[in-house]
Structure 1
């Protein structure tokens, strides 16, 4: 009987698992007695009925338990006889190595990669797509996600940015329900609902009013405040030089980026996604058989495509090939380098390969300060016209602050190969940031730096906006990068959008097509005015 079941399982491998399990269970539930081949010539030594023959009929509950037990046993045997290794759980050794083939490879396991994995693997994934996420920094020591200040706002100048943050805000509100896994701690992203307060000088009033109209048209709850109204609402703010303010009334605030990352990752894993610690060294690119293949033939399979990745798993010297049908590039500030490995920016214009992915790392400092006389619970997330920002951290007089350089200003190159490059410049705080904070909020004249850290933006050098969607040179490569400091708040929306493109071929809830790579090819940048 066991051999019979094993043979059935081998034949079933690669087919719909539930159908296999049901078929096997039915087979196992059939009586072991084959009346057609029963030998009636043997005489019984006793006319007394056996215990089996006198047993009481089983109740419906007992039969149901039997069925469940048989199915469980069938699944166990299916795992043992599965030649394609499609259902068996990997051993500890195997879990550290990538599989030979999957449906979708996501390069980058930060907040963006985890959100995309979560949306691809959630309950609606009825086709059973196998997803692999490759992350080379398992402790996330240099990941932009965990080095973020965790802000979320709807005050942008581009409608799609406003809508993404509104979507993500709702996701954060429901995150305990969406991300908690049975047997695991409750996912709590610690969403603090507190509005952003943007301040503008006279020169910035027109831009702020235009942005306000865009935000209101998208359904955002924001209001414009005169200097007198700002002073009445926040009397501890110095309004000198301020001509107008924009304040978010809901769907804004800050949250814990690590908790969101952890929640997305553990939920994706619970739904079958594989994560491995390793570095992608190269890509297996199938080149077209002839030059200048028309776009429609790319989608028909005649053009360029990525067939897989070359991975060096952590702790192993060998470089392994992982074949895939679809590749998602979500590697943050490394996306530009990853694109060049695929030939993006190295090819011809006729093949849409002449323009590189315009993303590079830009270093930013974040400081945690203690100001005993600072504002309390009514402190919003303040963004000064100078680029300085500060928000409350808890209720003990602690604050998180930083400052972004001017968009077009020159910045020194970064050395991402050295951890020394993440050393904090405290003179930057004393010379650049503190004077601006103390001018805007006089209570910050009395403060002390408690800690600080440095991190990298995945900086879009062209228009400081996200790059999302399919790359025009590859019919099976999707990118999600270049968020320029906004990725942590836009990740839930981007994950949903990429999922829709891959599974449905078009957006279902959010249309983010204006953030496609084509705008760099046609030189039509999409500038965002509110970059923090």
Structure 2
């Protein structure tokens, strides 16, 4: 084989072996760089010029959306995820307690969490990547338990009936049965409880997010470190009745990288997965800033919640479920060394500031520990070990998730406002997004009641079972 390149082609700037008008010295420089770096293909730009789908936010919600879209069409659809904090130091995903339950008041929430349980049961089939260890999210199937006062029993019974009709495995326990099964409980003020016996418990949010991201990278999802700082629009004429109306069509986003440079990225459609800061992204698109459909803002704001780690050597054992007291206080076991996680949501008029992730330890002493020690007397001798704070992407209208696209910006989609249960419903929400965009409608679970339009028509879908 002749490995010597003919002189006439090697040094011709317009010959068949070169691009039109290309400088020969640049050719030699590129070939030398390939030998020096071992790079056989040109480096990709930091921010691509265009993508089919732009996903804003790289937590569990954004990763789920990217997965369902890409696995449906790995070669025919490009997907870019933009995340401003790749270390996830302020991510709601990583700072959550990682619970999954089927015990909700809204049927849609029950169905979404049931879907997630089935997904986790078969996670190796969904998220395994060739030549890598199969995913393991450390699922602890210890169940959830809600305690109800006498005034709450009727609603609890109604919830349990609906949950079981949808396929959940939830038992309604009388006070006597609670005393027999969980002798460590002080049942003063408790009339009954609901106990999930299958598919409920908790898992590691980091491991699930990592498994999604590894799978997405194998499917060709592009990840960009940066922050969306604005949107590009173009005018579009729409036919309305017998006339036309000029609308602003979202065609791209302005993305600022870590060095402050701003790049333009054109897209077909974009998905708001910005968590607690989703309303800021929506406002950049004019949502809540205009008239008619654009006059209604995205009702999502950050709400800070504290998670406390306590040690109790003789606390409830392995059989203890994640327990939600009728006061709103919750606790669950963390490992097998006597550590527990606990917390409680503050009253509406006592919400903490959200400028930092600082922890209020007085809140534990004044509000959480008294409830914890009252309900489980063994915790009277517990010791506070550590704590952290995280943000709920809190829907201030009905505490329920917001899905679907905006009625004005038809290529702007929401996956927001999960109000504390996003980690357990992101899997189903991502699939729903894929069905809406690629199938033009819900195929697995009908989530139409949870779309943004409900705020325009004043038809809230209230979820009461918020922890």
Same fold (TM over 0.5): yes
Cα deviations by residue, 1:22-44 (Å, 9 ceiling, x for unpaired) = xxxxxxxxxxxxxxxxxxxxxxx
Question: RMSD over aligned Cα, in angstroms?
Answer: 2.4
Where does residue 507 of structure 1 map in the other structure? 442
Where does residue 119 of structure 1 map in the other structure? 68
Counterparts of 2:371 and 2:165 in 1: how far apart (Å)? 33
TM-score, normalisation: structure 2: 0.89
Offset of residue 414 of structure 1: 1.9
Counterparts of 1:280 and 1:220 in 2: how far apart (Å)? 40
Determine if the alignment matches structure 1 residue 141 to structure 2 residue 141. Answer: no
Counterparts of 1:401 and 1:247 in 2: how far apart (Å)? 18
Counterparts of 1:354 and 1:200 in 2: how far apart (Å)? 40
Counterparts of 2:208 and 2:241 in 1: how far apart (Å)? 39
Offset of residue 183 of structure 1: 2.5
Offset of residue 127 of structure 1: 5.8
Where does residue 306 of structure 2 map in the other structure? 365
Where does residue 30 of structure 2 map in the other structure? none
Query: Would the alpha carbon gap of residues 265 and 403 (structure 1) be closer, same or farther in structure 2, given more than 3 Å must change?
Result: same
Counterparts of 1:270 and 1:296 in 2: how far apart (Å)? 49
- Structure 2: tracts of 5 or more residues without a match: 10-14, 20-33, 35-39
Counterparts of 1:254 and 1:510 in 2: how far apart (Å)? 23
Where does residue 455 of structure 2 map in the other structure? 520
Where does residue 305 of structure 1 map in the other structure? 249
Matches within 5 A, 1:388-467: 388-406=329-347, 408-415=348-355, 421-467=356-402
Where does residue 259 of structure 1 map in the other structure? 207
Counterparts of 2:42 and 2:289 in 1: how far apart (Å)? 39
Query: Would the alpha carbon gap of residues 90 and 188 (structure 1) be closer, same or farther in structure 2, given more than 3 Å must change?
Result: farther
Determine if the alignment matches structure 1 residue 283 to structure 2 residue 231. Answer: yes
- Structure 1: tracts of 5 or more residues without a match: 11-79, 81-87, 416-420
Contact 2:74 / 2:219 at 8 angstroms: preserved in 1? no
Counterparts of 2:320 and 2:243 in 1: how far apart (Å)? 56
Where does residue 417 of structure 2 map in the other structure? 482
SS of 1:432's equivalent? Answer: helix
SS of 2:346's equivalent? Answer: coil
Contact 1:304 / 1:475 at 8 angstroms: preserved in 2? no
Of residues 280, 294, 300, the one that matches 1:337 is 280
TM-score, normalisation: structure 1: 0.78
Of residues 218, 221, 225, the one that matches 1:270 is 218
Cα deviations by residue, 1:472-502 (Å, 9 ceiling, x for unpaired) = 1111111100000000000110111101111
Matches within 5 A, 1:6-21: none
Contact 2:52 / 2:268 at 8 angstroms: preserved in 1? yes
Instruction: Name the structure where strand makes up a greater proportion of residues.
Output: 2
Q: Higher relative contact order by CA 8 Å / sep ≥ 6: 1 or 2? A: 2
SS of 1:435's equivalent? Answer: helix
Contact 2:74 / 2:220 at 8 angstroms: preserved in 1? no
Which range moved further: 359-368 or 207-216?
207-216
Query: Would the alpha carbon gap of residues 89 and 387 (structure 1) be closer, same or farther in structure 2, given more than 3 Å must change?
Result: farther
Where does residue 356 of structure 1 map in the other structure? 297
Offset of residue 513 of structure 1: 1.1
Contact 1:305 / 1:477 at 8 angstroms: preserved in 2? no
Offset of residue 295 of structure 1: 9.5
Counterparts of 2:394 and 2:235 in 1: how far apart (Å)? 30
Matches within 5 A, 1:92-241: 94=44, 97-122=46-71, 124-125=72-73, 128-241=76-189
Contact 2:305 / 2:345 at 8 angstroms: preserved in 1? yes
Of residues 316, 321, 324, the one that matches 2:264 is 321
SS of 2:295's equivalent? Answer: coil
Matches within 5 A, 1:63-82: none
Which range moved further: 260-269 or 125-134?
125-134
Max Rg structure: 1
Counterparts of 1:452 and 1:232 in 2: how far apart (Å)? 32
SS of 2:354's equivalent? Answer: coil
SS of 2:48's equivalent? Answer: coil
Where does residue 12 of structure 2 map in the other structure? none
Counterparts of 1:89 and 1:464 in 2: how far apart (Å)? 48
Contact 1:103 / 1:130 at 8 angstroms: preserved in 2? yes
SS of 2:146's equivalent? Answer: strand
Determine if the alignment matches structure 1 residue 382 to structure 2 residue 317. Answer: no
Cα deviations by residue, 1:342-379 (Å, 9 ceiling, x for unpaired) = 10001111xx1110000000000001111001011111
Contact 1:158 / 1:214 at 8 angstroms: preserved in 2? no
Where does residue 249 of structure 1 map in the other structure? 197
Contact 1:173 / 1:191 at 8 angstroms: preserved in 2? no
Offset of residue 287 of structure 1: 4.1
Counterparts of 2:334 and 2:442 in 1: how far apart (Å)? 37
Offset of residue 181 of structure 1: 1.4
Counterparts of 2:272 and 2:53 in 1: how far apart (Å)? 11
Counterparts of 1:253 and 1:207 in 2: how far apart (Å)? 22
Cα deviations by residue, 1:452-475 (Å, 9 ceiling, x for unpaired) = 100100000000000011111111
